[in-house]
Structure 1
């Protein structure tokens, strides 16, 4: 009896995992997509057939929300019943944002959608391109868990599985990825897959018991813009001119205590900025409990019109705002506050 061939849909978008190094310059290389597949197949212990789609090939730092629309359109053409899962190869810089975007749109997926990247191009002696790709294949075939995930091997050699809405940007020194809240969904140490913190991560049953269907909504056209600002000492909001065509919403990343400056000279504070732009929705992240005890400055920011969001990462929040303000079915504030795929810890 011949081994069963497992079908996986592979969508490649470039990034470091699809790049090469030439004369000290790292850039996308159209041959690296096929090279990744062939490298995997040479060492694979099971038969896998990949159907490949390449809607675009870019370095992910050049990604804009319109690229999410292209990925969504490409995946909407897929017959999900034909595949064990979907792998999306992507650049590391903006991976958390695309992972969140696909989580919001494909939250009801009946099969795993797994995003992977790498710290160095394929062939570099320190590259984790092959372990990450192999980890994605193994996760799909071993678990069949419906949902959106990322798989990444950190410097410690352990492969972590992150929920698509929980992934944070990689750190600047070790290129390691972490999940919002400090704990990944699961860890694969090459011997077994262990589920993450039960208090912070949804259970396996919670993923399996969700509603699953492929009746997708219309692909968003991201015409409405979102501005994101981070608080830091000395931030002078008088330098932020929203102009004659302001964004639909502004996301304010506050300090960890859900605070921002409410005092400043002649309109320099965040509280003044919110009050002076009442036609724009101002969101504040991230509150642990907006109904509980807050610092005086937190009360001031909400009093000026700021909309508090609880227990959501910067990456997941800014991406969700793009979706909230580029759909017509739901009030944007209601959309942003409704859980789509475990984005609230």
Structure 2
């Protein structure tokens, strides 16, 4: 049996000289005096670069570059580690028997669209640059090679705030192509600021999705000690490769430490903090799953809409550009609504107050919009809870004017949905009907008290 599978060249020679085997705890001393210690892992090598993969005590795998001046010693054999673990002593024990053989790993495609998630530091210049080849990714984040056979492509490299509906369409086409080629899961690396919009777009564009799609980003760039890039990427690849559900999700840190990630349903998630690692939260719904990347474990929290492999894919790509998302504020001028009508907009999502209200002086302009067959949808800027326009007089006036209640949809999700609906409906009435239907889990028909976050938790 090969003792150091996957290693070639100087890396293999150093390990054999030290008598090291996969599963042993080793110490690596580099030429410059830096010391790394951890469990020797096998390597799913994509190149002959002199890199040795070890598992640190915090659960992360890292790749350590070696050369002829590197010193390697065995600190503890795998048998000794296993004996200590059996006796109850704390130990990092790699589950080597659970690593799938090379030919049995699921195939996962990683599609890069921008952001810091799939970048690495170029130490010669100090700059962060894309690391989106499969070789770069596995060398930068060795764990993903143990989970899946990874392929990668850079579709675009833009800042998150520069995302546009035409780019959503390009991403839909790229994901559909990868699914047709037999990939068993897709990861989309994306900037965090508009990731929920793009994830929602894919949730509406794919009917009968047969495999998971995991959107992933990083709140902190890979040059920072507190970077969340590796943890999030490992978690997203795990979801794409092994999740039992076939939905579009956003996979990000579930808390500030490196314990678990959460897989959120694309149509119910929102970025709720500018910089925290656990910035993404499910709104008016529970997450789909907790993801424990170092344990290779996915724990379902909510019942999936559909499971892996149950349905046949139908791609319904295309988004209407003439849709606006308008946040109501006290004293808002009706000219804003009139402007959108005069400019030929086909849909308006209003982010109203409370149960779904705007100032009464806007009702006539909204009625004019509806008479021009512009679909007007009401959501709430409170985010939590549900629109109910039958309680107060203003709400009833808006209903009489033809406004469509948005139920508990997030304003951003309603905006994306209306853009998709208008591109795929044959009439004004059909568009209004589709906005009331639960197409991709965007409407939760039942709320429980635990869905509203309270302090203290």
In structure 2, the residue matched to 1:284 is: 378
Q: Verify: 1:165 aligned to 2:267, yes or no.
A: yes
Post-superposition offset of 1:59: 0.7
In structure 1, the residue matched to 2:333 is: 236
- Superposed, 1:288-327 pairs within 5 Å as 288=386, 290=388, 293-327=390-424
Q: How many residues align?
A: 326
- Superposed, 1:1-345 pairs within 5 Å as 2-3=101-102, 4-18=104-118, 29-31=129-131, 35-41=136-142, 43-44=143-144, 46=146, 48-80=148-180, 82-157=182-257, 158-172=260-274, 174=276, 176-181=279-284, 183-188=286-291, 193-196=298-301, 201=302, 203-204=303-304, 206-208=305-307, 212-217=311-316, 219-220=317-318, 222-240=319-337, 241-242=339-340, 244-262=342-360, 269-277=361-369, 278-279=371-372, 280-286=374-380, 288=386, 290=388, 293-328=390-425, 331-345=430-444
Aligned to 1:310, the other structure's residue is in SS state coil
Aligned to 1:57, the other structure's residue is in SS state coil
Post-superposition offset of 1:119: 0.2
C-alpha change, 1:29 and 1:170, in structure 2 (3 Å) is farther
CA contact (8 A) 2:322 2:347 kept: yes
Aligned to 2:356, the other structure's residue is in SS state coil
Post-superposition offset of 1:12: 0.8
CA contact (8 A) 1:12 1:88 kept: yes
CA contact (8 A) 1:36 1:122 kept: no
Post-superposition offset of 1:304: 2.0
Post-superposition offset of 1:50: 1.7
**CA distances 1:159-184 after superposition (whole Å, capped 9, x unpaired):** 11100111113323536111121532
Post-superposition offset of 1:141: 3.2
Post-superposition offset of 1:82: 2.4
C-alpha change, 1:173 and 1:85, in structure 2 (3 Å) is closer
**CA distances 1:226-270 after superposition (whole Å, capped 9, x unpaired):** 0111122232333452264221011001123222221xxxxxx33
Post-superposition offset of 1:138: 1.8
Q: TM-score, normalised by structure 2?
A: 0.64
Residues of 1 paired with 2:108 and 2:395: CA distance? 48
C-alpha change, 1:37 and 1:66, in structure 2 (3 Å) is farther
C-alpha change, 1:270 and 1:307, in structure 2 (3 Å) is same
The structure that has the greater radius of gyration is 2
Aligned to 1:339, the other structure's residue is in SS state coil
Residues of 2 paired with 1:316 and 1:150: CA distance? 14
Computed over aligned residues only, the root mean square deviation of the Cα atoms, in angstroms, reads 2.9
CA contact (8 A) 2:288 2:300 kept: yes
C-alpha change, 1:243 and 1:145, in structure 2 (3 Å) is closer
Post-superposition offset of 1:224: 4.0
Residues of 1 paired with 2:268 and 2:118: CA distance? 24
Where does the alignment leave 5 or more consecutive residues of structure 1 unmatched? Answer: 263-268
Post-superposition offset of 1:289: 6.4
Which protein, 1 or 2, shows the higher relative CO under an 8 Å CA cutoff with sep ≥ 6?
A: 1
C-alpha change, 1:81 and 1:19, in structure 2 (3 Å) is closer
Aligned to 2:349, the other structure's residue is in SS state strand
Residues of 1 paired with 2:117 and 2:133: CA distance? 8
C-alpha change, 1:60 and 1:289, in structure 2 (3 Å) is closer
**CA distances 1:11-43 after superposition (whole Å, capped 9, x unpaired):** 111123245789xxx9983446664443222x4
Where does the alignment leave 5 or more consecutive residues of structure 2 unmatched? Answer: 2-100, 445-457
- Which range is displaced more, 161-170 or 139-148? 139-148
